[in-house]
Amino acid sequence: MSRRRTRSGPLSAGEATGDGEEELEGWDSLEEYLASEAARTSGAGQSPAPTADLRGPKAASTRHYFSRAESQPAETFTFPLRFGDRTIDWVSAHGVFSKQQLDFGSRLLLEVAEIPATGRLLDLGCGTGALGLLALASRVESGGSGEDRLWACLSDISDHALACASANRERLGLTGSAGIVQGEFLAPFRSGVFGTVLFNPPIRAGKAPILETLTRMRRVLEPDGTLWVVARVQQGAKSLLAHLENVFEGAAQVRARRKGYLILRAGGRKADGI
């Protein structure tokens, strides 16, 4: 069996759609992608992510962070997010996950995960976009240009979460290298699209949909693609590891343990020690 090349560049409309038979390639150039992104956000083609209302009404939402929002605008606000030597005025909203801070699990995952310099990264269930955007920002700062760099996709079911992710993407100056896709778990994506997936699973959504998502994870990964998952031991991290060992045929392991959290890694090349 021939080995597939590592995919780079932003997702095409076909790759961000789970149905259909033919798998499409990405845009031919960064310039073509930027033109497409400009058309998208101006109202042509794919609908843009909901616009964040930065005035931030104070009324709290009772909706779950893992569900789709109603038609009302996101009730947004900002908080100082400290990461590394940076402090960012981070856009968040009532009703999204970890709305007032970068949660410890996500921070640990960013510390431990091996983020490649090139290729495509998926922040699955992105919330406000912290995992994908901060991982991408760290790579942008270390260099890389044109197609030979890292591209990120931020995906979530929640309109409000994506409104925040879109605002944070703009604040970090990453509009040209991070795309936004709305959908439930892996449903929007075709096969073999991503080299890296970061996943802080929505435990409150229930065990069944999370296990089902992990079962299907290999489909969207490149042949040597890597999945990184963070979960608390008290919330079933060890059972997730056992499931990943089965799905990835033993190629899964714990890469870090801290304060009751496990960082799990699955997939990757055999040379990586898994």
Contact 152, 179 (CB under 8 A): yes
Pick the CATH number of 102-272 from 3.20.20.150, 3.40.50.150, 3.40.50.2000, 3.40.250.10: 3.40.50.150
Amino acid at position 216, single letter? R
Helix segments in 172-250, DSSP class H: 207-215, 217-220, 237-247
Structure tokens at 160: 């409000």
Would the pLDDT of 127 be above 90?
Answer: yes
> What phi and psi, each to the nearest 5 degrees, are found at residue 18?
-75, -20
Q: Is the pLDDT of residue 4 over 80?
A: no
Taking the domains of the chain in order of start, what are their residue ranges?
102-272
- Using pLDDT thresholds of 50, 70 and 90, give the confidence band for residue 25: very low
* Confidence class for position 201, pLDDT limits 50, 70, 90: very high
Taking the CA atoms of residue 27, residue 32, residue 37 and residue 42 in that order, the dihedral angle to the nearest 10 degrees is: -140
Confidence at residue 98, expressed as pLDDT on a 0 to 100 scale: 73
pLDDT at residue 144 tops 70: no
**Strand ranges of the sheet holding 221-232, from the earlier edge strand across to the other edge:** 178-182, 150-156, 119-124, 194-199, 221-232, 261-267, 252-258
Alpha helices in 84-232 (DSSP H): 104-112, 130-141, 159-171, 207-215, 217-220
Task: Quote the tokens at residue 118.
Answer: 């090139």
Q: Is the pLDDT of residue 65 over 60?
A: no
Residue 40: per-residue pLDDT: 46
H/E element, 40: helix 30-41
Angle at CA of residue 135, ends 194 and 268, nearest 5°: 40
- Residue 2 predicted with pLDDT over 70: no
Are the C-beta atoms of residues 161 and 186 closer than 8 Å to each other? no
Residues 79-119 pLDDT 10s: 999 988 889 999 999 888 777 689 999 999 999 999 999 99
Residue 42 has pLDDT above 90, yes or no: no
pTM (two decimals): 0.77
Average pLDDT, the chain: 78
Would you put residue 206 in left (φ > 0), alpha (ψ -120 to 50) or beta?
left
Region 6-23 average pLDDT = 51
Return the closest-CA partner of residue 221 out of 256, 247, 184, 253. Answer: 247
Q: Residue 221: which H helix or E strand, with range?
A: strand 221-232
Say if residues 113 and 135 touch (Cβ distance below 8 Å): yes
Q: Which residues contact 271 (CB under 8 A, 6 or more apart)?
A: none
